[in-house]
Structure 1
Amino acid sequence: MSQIKFGTDGWRAVIAEDFTFANVARVAQATADYWNANPVSGTEKKVVVGYDRRFLSDQFARCSAEVFAGNGFQVVLTPEPTPTPSVSYAVKALGAVGGVMITASHNPPSFNGFKLKSHYGGSSDSTTCAAVESFLDRNPVSKLALPEAIKAKRVMVKDVRPAHYSALKKLVDFKLIAKSKLRFAHEALFGVGAGCFEQLLAGTTCKVTTLNAAHDPLFGGINPEPIEKNYARSQAFLRKHPHDLCLVTDGDADRVGGMDGRGNYLTTHSLICLLLHHFYANRRGKGRVVKALTTTSMVDKMCAAYGLPLVVTGVGFKYICAEMLKGDVLLGAEESGGIGFPGHIPERDGIAAGLMLLEMLAVERVSLNKLLAKLEKEFGPHRYERIDTHFPLEKRPLLMDFLKSNPPAKLLKSPLKEVQSFDGVKFIAEDSSWLMLRGSGTEPILRIYAEAGTQTNAARLVRLGVELTKQV
């Protein structure tokens, strides 16, 4: 029997190796046992189950629904591939004890995952995931076959997207967007977000062009992650057919990326900074700004200038979610394109982030590039670089200890100012450039991140990071 190890907000594995129907049923049973043993006051004994476009995701979702039904839960099962934030929203709106999303998000097509959502409509925290893992194999799997469960009204097949989309229209100034005449593209990366903006903006003055919308479990040969190397098809289209903006959503539509109207890449850091400026300057918002520590230091400078408190968390939106649950948060954001908003669920939502960017353009009435140039003029250029490299899991603790004990005296020419080591190790220089090394939660992968004033220097910092890995 294969070992199942939970990662950031659930379990992920390679389809047909460890991600099998038998193992999905084991995890669903453990989740059911946990929720039965730990009922949440004010919620119903109800679970929302959704899934993405990956190979057999619909069948894995049905398998999960059968287990929850067999353990006495009322199950809401989505009828077709659905964005993760739609499932998260449904968990909270329906008063469910929790939810399950069958997705591996932006990972390679060979992977699938079992993502846990808690009653508040956000990713389950580490304590919950560890507790569910501890329930594995305590009890044999109990199932109620789907046709029987539907007949007995233990499972209800329901599209949860309309309620989510309705909430999004209230979150933004939808009337302003609707009359803005914006002409934008949406790079769906073959994921579940395909068609969402067309549906949301039907009947408005906006013109939406959806790119790479086909249901392809192989994602056109890419990983459905909002990074530049995955944008080649849409970049070629935009160079021939310019738009005002191109929004990008990842495989399960909980992260956002972007390009300008001519296919030039916009980093997720740039989008985060644009939205922070929009929330402060145009929406007149106040509150704490929460960012993962791999996010651009321009956020730090903006918060200092705007008089906004800044909270820095470890990597993983569950840490940002924990801060959002405390309240008084203006914006929560992470380097990978996960952004959360006040007055919504404490969850990253790529569709909400896309609409907020449209709202910003409708208010500003100038190009994205002009808005970014204005931010750079005020806060300076910030260029980012990241690589993922193979590094043995057994050597990782030695490397982290070495880095903490032997920090470089300076990063390039700037003296070292600070070392942060609560999630990996991050070196921060006096000039605000930084270098960070952090291991993947479950794989022999080391992530090396860097930011500097020029792309050349950011690349040099990454090379320094690679050299540091050779010291152990």
Structure 2
Amino acid sequence: MKCNRARWSLLRWRLPESDGCRAARCFVPIHPLAGKPASPDRLVDVDRLRREFYDRTPDIGDRSERVAFGTSGHRGTSLAGTFNEAHVVAIPQAICDYRRQAGTNGPLFIGKDTHALSQPAFETSLEVLAANAVDVLIDSADYTPTPVVSHAILTYNRGRTTGLADGIVITPSHNPPEDGGFKYNPSHGGPADTDVTRWIENAANRLLSSSLEKVPRIAYERARRAPTTRTHDYVGGYVNDLNAVARVIAHDVVRGQREGVASLQLDSILRKGADAYLRSRQIRHDGDSPANRLRRRPYVFDGPQMIGEIAVREVESSDVHSRGNHLLENRGRTGGRTDRGHDFGSVKRKGHRSLLSAVAMRRARSAEAQRR
């Protein structure tokens, strides 16, 4: 049985390779809107989303509107009262309280992604952290992929036994554009385990129940100027360590060109092995993106997208491919984006993760095993 060639090329990375699965792909339905621009009624009203973040107060009597940590973090949307300013005041304060009782007194690295609610959540968090006199390191540029925060924590804590750092990542990961998220990474750099998240969750809900009366807070501009708030070159430190893990990280970032905040660092990564520059870049908060149009079920799960074009000066696609040991993980389909119009992309295979994420997860499991 022969499959439609275009359909198979879009779906082949979703299913394992076998004759049965290849035949089954012929019957996977294609959404009628696949490949078409999103209609206005399907896009997120970003202004309303941010307005509701500040104006709506969650009902603590409704369990769905309480703080609830999933995979190391709380996620929700301001439109449903599940990710609002009150949540983002309570959670950083709960983290401050947890740090004190856990003896974590090093700096706190904080990053955010491109979801529309991430910036207001970042500002609110900094107001609380600065009022608690926590040493906070914010990105010297703007958006920060989760791996660079983990890298900053691991790098700072290397060789230390006291004054350990931890971190916050403001992101709902792959959730829809209307969602916000808040994650806590302890000193091992990876996601917090359930004992930690349960402690923070319970503490945050107690603060919400008390109408946040005991939460100190200062104005954002004052928090930015506070002596405890400093800038940190997250991406520079990450890229400078690229030689040790170039194949793994570069592959992850190339995948991020299509979806996720990692795409913002792609030009920095490419400069390590080619004369590359970012020709254009556009961040969409409302969910519309050419990357979404390639999906058989468009507009259903993607977060904000970076729409951009990477040009590699005087480098043929075959040259970029031949440098796979440095620029790309040489597994899966790779190509190049040059002034001659070739595509620059990579298909990430299932089970392949960044080395830093793997290290952080191993340390988390080791720490949990020791506690037991």
Pairwise TM-score range, normalised by the shorter structure: 0.5 to 0.7
Query: What's the CA shift for 1:259?
Result: 4.5
Find the counterpart in structure 1 of residue 186 from structure 2.
118
1:13 aligns with 2:13: no
> What pairs with 1:329-340 in structure 2 (closer than 5 Å)?
none
For 1:319 and 1:163, locate their aligned partners in 2 and report how far apart those are by CA, in whole Å.
Answer: 20
For 1:110 and 1:57, locate their aligned partners in 2 and report how far apart those are by CA, in whole Å.
Answer: 10
Find the counterpart in structure 2 of residue 51 from structure 1.
112
Q: Normalized per residue, which structure has more strand?
A: 1
1:189 aligns with 2:263: no
For 1:217 and 1:103, locate their aligned partners in 2 and report how far apart those are by CA, in whole Å.
Answer: 13
Query: What's the CA shift for 1:84?
Result: 0.9
1:36 to 100, 118, 143: 100
CA 1:185/1:29 → structure 2, altered by over 3 Å: closer, same or farther?
closer
How many residues end up aligned between the 2 structures?
258
Query: What's the CA shift for 1:145?
Result: 2.3
Judge conservation of contact 2:254–2:346 (CA < 8 Å) in 1.
Answer: no
Find the counterpart in structure 2 of residue 268 from structure 1.
349
1:168 aligns with 2:242: yes
Query: What's the CA shift for 1:260?
Result: 4.4
Deviations along 1:102-125, one digit per CA (max 9) or x if unpaired, are: 111111111110011111111111
Query: What's the CA shift for 1:143?
Result: 1.3
SS at match of 1:194: helix
For 2:174 and 2:291, locate their aligned partners in 1 and report how far apart those are by CA, in whole Å.
Answer: 6
Q: Normalized per residue, which structure has more helix?
A: 2
1:4 to 67, 71, 84: 67
SS at match of 2:92: helix
For 2:146 and 2:364, locate their aligned partners in 1 and report how far apart those are by CA, in whole Å.
Answer: 18
Judge conservation of contact 1:107–1:223 (CA < 8 Å) in 2.
Answer: no
1:74 aligns with 2:135: yes
> What pairs with 1:447-466 in structure 2 (closer than 5 Å)?
none
Find the counterpart in structure 2 of residue 409 from structure 1.
none
CA 1:222/1:264 → structure 2, altered by over 3 Å: closer, same or farther?
closer
CA 1:31/1:222 → structure 2, altered by over 3 Å: closer, same or farther?
farther
Deviations along 1:3-54, one digit per CA (max 9) or x if unpaired, are: 11110111001134321112111111111111111114xxx34211110011
Query: What's the CA shift for 1:187?
Result: 5.6
CA 1:97/1:215 → structure 2, altered by over 3 Å: closer, same or farther?
same
For 1:31 and 1:60, locate their aligned partners in 2 and report how far apart those are by CA, in whole Å.
Answer: 15
Query: What's the CA shift for 1:150?
Result: 3.5
> What pairs with 1:243-254 in structure 2 (closer than 5 Å)?
243=317
For 1:228 and 1:321, locate their aligned partners in 2 and report how far apart those are by CA, in whole Å.
Answer: 38
Judge conservation of contact 2:72–2:191 (CA < 8 Å) in 1.
Answer: yes
Deviations along 1:408-438, one digit per CA (max 9) or x if unpaired, are: xxxxxxxxxxxxxxxxxxxxxxxxxxxxxxx
Judge conservation of contact 2:117–2:180 (CA < 8 Å) in 1.
Answer: no
Judge conservation of contact 1:61–1:102 (CA < 8 Å) in 2.
Answer: yes
Percent of paired sites with the same residue: 22
CA 1:187/1:325 → structure 2, altered by over 3 Å: closer, same or farther?
same
For 1:93 and 1:203, locate their aligned partners in 2 and report how far apart those are by CA, in whole Å.
Answer: 20
CA 1:229/1:318 → structure 2, altered by over 3 Å: closer, same or farther?
farther
- Runs of 5+ unmatched residues, structure 1: 247-256, 280-289, 292-316, 328-472
Judge conservation of contact 1:12–1:104 (CA < 8 Å) in 2.
Answer: yes
Judge conservation of contact 2:69–2:198 (CA < 8 Å) in 1.
Answer: yes
CA 1:264/1:97 → structure 2, altered by over 3 Å: closer, same or farther?
closer
CA 1:243/1:111 → structure 2, altered by over 3 Å: closer, same or farther?
farther
Judge conservation of contact 1:53–1:217 (CA < 8 Å) in 2.
Answer: yes
Judge conservation of contact 1:228–1:265 (CA < 8 Å) in 2.
Answer: no
CA 1:194/1:143 → structure 2, altered by over 3 Å: closer, same or farther?
same
Q: Which letter maps to 1:12?
A: R
Query: What's the CA shift for 1:199?
Result: 1.1
Query: What's the CA shift for 1:164?
Result: 1.4
Find the counterpart in structure 2 of residue 204 from structure 1.
273
For 1:87 and 1:227, locate their aligned partners in 2 and report how far apart those are by CA, in whole Å.
Answer: 30
For 1:101 and 1:200, locate their aligned partners in 2 and report how far apart those are by CA, in whole Å.
Answer: 21
Judge conservation of contact 1:106–1:223 (CA < 8 Å) in 2.
Answer: no
For 2:233 and 2:298, locate their aligned partners in 1 and report how far apart those are by CA, in whole Å.
Answer: 29
1:93 aligns with 2:155: yes
For 2:131 and 2:85, locate their aligned partners in 1 and report how far apart those are by CA, in whole Å.
Answer: 16
- Runs of 5+ unmatched residues, structure 2: 1-59, 158-163, 300-304, 310-315, 322-330, 336-342
CA 1:259/1:105 → structure 2, altered by over 3 Å: closer, same or farther?
farther
1:27 aligns with 2:91: yes
Judge conservation of contact 2:254–2:345 (CA < 8 Å) in 1.
Answer: no
For 2:221 and 2:344, locate their aligned partners in 1 and report how far apart those are by CA, in whole Å.
Answer: 47
Judge conservation of contact 2:83–2:180 (CA < 8 Å) in 1.
Answer: yes
For 1:203 and 1:187, locate their aligned partners in 2 and report how far apart those are by CA, in whole Å.
Answer: 17
For 1:20 and 1:116, locate their aligned partners in 2 and report how far apart those are by CA, in whole Å.
Answer: 17
Which is bigger in relative contact order (C-alpha 8 A, separation at least 6)? Answer: 2
Query: What's the CA shift for 1:218?
Result: 2.5
Find the counterpart in structure 2 of residue 63 from structure 1.
124
Q: Which letter maps to 1:126?
A: T
- TM score, norm. by length of structure 2: 0.57
CA 1:222/1:326 → structure 2, altered by over 3 Å: closer, same or farther?
farther
For 1:208 and 1:324, locate their aligned partners in 2 and report how far apart those are by CA, in whole Å.
Answer: 41
CA 1:207/1:146 → structure 2, altered by over 3 Å: closer, same or farther?
closer
Judge conservation of contact 2:190–2:361 (CA < 8 Å) in 1.
Answer: no
